[in-house]
Amino acid sequence: MSNLGATHAHSGEYEKARQLYEEALGIRKTRGDSSAIATLYNNLGNAYKNQGNYPKALTYYLDALNLRQIQQESSGVSTVFINLSTIYLRQGDYDQALEYLQKALAIREELNEQSGLAIVFNNIGEIRRLQGSLQEALEYFQYALITRQDIGDQRGIAACYLNIGTTQSMLEDFGSAKSTLSNADFLAREVGDQELICKIQIELGKVYYLQQMYPMALQKLMEGMDISKQLGLKDKTQDAAEYLALTYQQLGRYQEAYEAHRLFKAMTDSLLNETKTQQLTEIQMRHLFEQELDSIAIEDAKRTSELEGQVARQRAIQLGTIIVLLMSVGFVLILLRLYRSNQKTNEQLLESNEEIQSNNEEIRSVNESLQHSMETVQKQWDEITSSILYAQRIQQAILPPEGILRSLLSEHFVFFRPRNVVSGDVYWVSDRRHLNGKVFIAAVDCTGHGVPGAFMSLIANDLLNNLINERQIEDPGEILDQLHLEIRQSLNQDTTFTQDGMDIALVSIDVGKKVLAFSGANLPLVYLQDGQMHKLKGNPASIGGVRGELNPTYATHQLFYAGGLTFYLYSDGFQDQFGGPKGKKFMAGKFRELLSQIHELPLTNQKHVLEATLDEWMDDQEQVDDIMVLGIRLV
């Protein structure tokens, strides 16, 4: 029955596999077969994970881990570590995922298990890819591919090709990506792995979309979507729906684009809801608590053993005393004196034991009080952390996805480093080419940072969507005029007199006419054309607040870029960062000089230079503000 479940799992029929595993588990429990039970716990975890039920998957994985550790079965422990890492990987907790993978890697290397090493290499590569280290990710995927080829694992080779092709696409090597993914598709169909076929079709659809081959993209994405729905793969349905919405939009099929986007949002909410995240935390804490109880039980058993030993020794002494009394009456007085001496000693020991017991009770009471206080503080901390992490997911959801940026701006970089978990700096993009031939880009620096700044960023996002996408205002200066009025009205600043608001640099790009229009509120636009740097200053008045003019006017500046140009939008976080040998600010002039020095490099290399320069400048200094730099090259 267990083997039949595995067959259904390989075919992507996870619900049927789960039912068969649970039937097999009931049988094995009646027989007391602990090794088979551990394997079935692990298989059930896999089934629930592939259905997107991460809390249930984590419960079974931890049950499997407990049994494997009791059995001292290193290979099985390593397998569970790998599976646990995938749970945290899918939840975005990369540090926890890497911690489990490093444990698994140490065991696999000691056992020299090639198939296990391939899995670990592959999963580390996936995490490095998600963290943006694409070349490092590609190296790990290639290690995994070589290992899979050595052992002749066709399904594993197909999976490696999938990961390599996906990474090549992210590196914009689309020709290699299509070739690699085609090899993956051939092998996946040969072994009949429906889940792999689903993933490969979706990745091929993304590549065709990024190459603007929209009919081919639609064909691949639809096939991947159909399989993901059949198999109940929520994360793959989410992935396909996102790019189907973009593809339908490019093909002018707006109703279908809207339906695909609704499906994408539904899958996102299902996979990332707050309740599941809390359940994961509670399950893990329960596991740690059970381990602590086991440690206490072991310690109690040890103490009980020592006490029994002491009792046995005392009985031996008493027996010896009786024997001596029977052997020699002449020693009665001596023995009596010894007895009285022992009695006095015992009374002293009893008094000491009572005192120790009293002290122990006091210590136990203090510990219980401290434990209660710690649990209360931990609960409050967990609630605050959970709320902030949820706010981070909301803010990340409104930022433009990298796929959209890459489709609109072929050469660009985004250097985005919040000071805290959430940011008051945000960037915003709108594609209006189908209506007026223009693309709008904004860099927004809201009042404050952390949670207050993040709230302001949500207001900025909604108002920009309203002014540009719904009211269809095209002139950047007019947009900022209206944005100022809307902010003051939204925050009731005529009566509250608050100073909350934002600085913003807004650009519209007319792709056909090659005209760039800019307007700024206390943020500039810096551009380089024909090797010369130029700076367009915005109005010194911020958006919102009651200082200075109540209704300032924001001018629009136009540039023609027939010969091409590179321009930058940025907040003041980089230039205001303290560091260097004297602990001073980096300063605006020095920042523009750095941009001038690197502007001829490829945009991705420019981002790396900025990151390295900032890290070296900061050294051990704390980050003082949110940091955001956008670099864009127009041709």
Q: Whose CA is closest to 215, among 240, 250, 258?
A: 250
3-state secondary structure 127-182: HHHHCCCHHHHHHHHHHHHHHHHHHCCHHHHHHHHHHHHHHHHHCCCHHHHHHHHH
When divided into structural domains, the chain yields a total of 2
| Within a domain: 58 | no
Percent of the chain with pLDDT over 70: 81
| Within a domain: 121 | yes
Q: Is 630 within 8 Å of 427 (Cβ atoms)?
A: yes
Q: Is 233 helix (H, G, I), strand (E, B) or coil?
A: coil
Higher-confidence residue of 132 and 527: namely: 527
Alpha helices in 171-273 (DSSP H): 174-191, 194-210, 214-231, 234-250, 254-271
Compute the average pLDDT of residues 132-157: 91
Q: Is 257 within 8 Å of 245 (Cβ atoms)?
A: yes
What is the distance between the alpha carbons of residues 508 and 429, in angstroms, rounded to a whole number? 10
What is the distance between the alpha carbons of residues 401 and 541, in angstroms, rounded to a whole number? 31
What is the distance between the alpha carbons of residues 556 and 518, in angstroms, rounded to a whole number? 6
- Quickly state the pLDDT bin for 393 (edges 50, 70, 90): confident
Q: What pLDDT does 313 receive? A: 64
- Quickly state the pLDDT bin for 378 (edges 50, 70, 90): confident
Q: What's the pLDDT tens digit per position in 85-105?
A: 988 888 788 888 989 998 988
What is the distance between the alpha carbons of residues 575 and 570, in angstroms, rounded to a whole number? 10
Q: Whose CA is closest to 595, among 618, 570, 627, 560?
A: 570
Q: Whose CA is closest to 145, among 167, 127, 126, 163?
A: 163
| Within a domain: 482 | yes
Encode burial over 328-354: b for 16+ CB neighbours within 10 A, e otherwise.
eeeeeeebeeeeeeeeeeeeeeeeeee
Residue numbers of the domain that contains 148: 113-192
List the CATH number of the domain containing 141. 1.25.40.10
Q: What pLDDT does 620 receive? A: 85
Ranking 46-55, 242-251, 372-381 by mean pLDDT, the lowest is: 372-381
Ranking 231-240, 245-254, 445-454, 568-577 by mean pLDDT, the lowest is: 445-454
Ranking 145-149, 179-183, 271-275 by mean pLDDT, the lowest is: 271-275
Q: What pLDDT does 51 receive? A: 80
Q: Is 25 within 8 Å of 37 (Cβ atoms)?
A: yes
Q: Is 395 within 8 Å of 426 (Cβ atoms)?
A: yes
Neighbours of 622 (CB within 10 A): 9
pTM for the predicted model, two decimal places: 0.45
Domain boundary among 192, 215, 233: 192
| Within a domain: 515 | yes
Q: Is residue 524 scored above 70 in pLDDT?
A: yes
Domain boundary among 162, 177, 192: 192
| Within a domain: 457 | yes
- Quickly state the pLDDT bin for 288 (edges 50, 70, 90): very low
List the CATH number of the domain containing 505. 3.60.40.10
Q: What pLDDT does 73 receive? A: 87
Q: What pLDDT does 297 receive? A: 47
Q: Is residue 616 scored above 50 in pLDDT?
A: yes
State residue 122 phi and psi, 5-degree precision. -60, -45
What is the distance between the alpha carbons of residues 366 and 14, in angstroms, rounded to a whole number? 50
Q: Whose CA is closest to 278, among 171, 385, 119?
A: 385
| Within a domain: 433 | yes
Q: Is residue 484 scored above 90 in pLDDT?
A: yes
Mean confidence (pLDDT) of the chain: 84
Domain boundary among 150, 176, 192: 192
Ranking 101-110, 162-171, 437-446 by mean pLDDT, the lowest is: 101-110
β-bridge partners, 414 = 630
| Within a domain: 161 | yes
| Within a domain: 75 | no
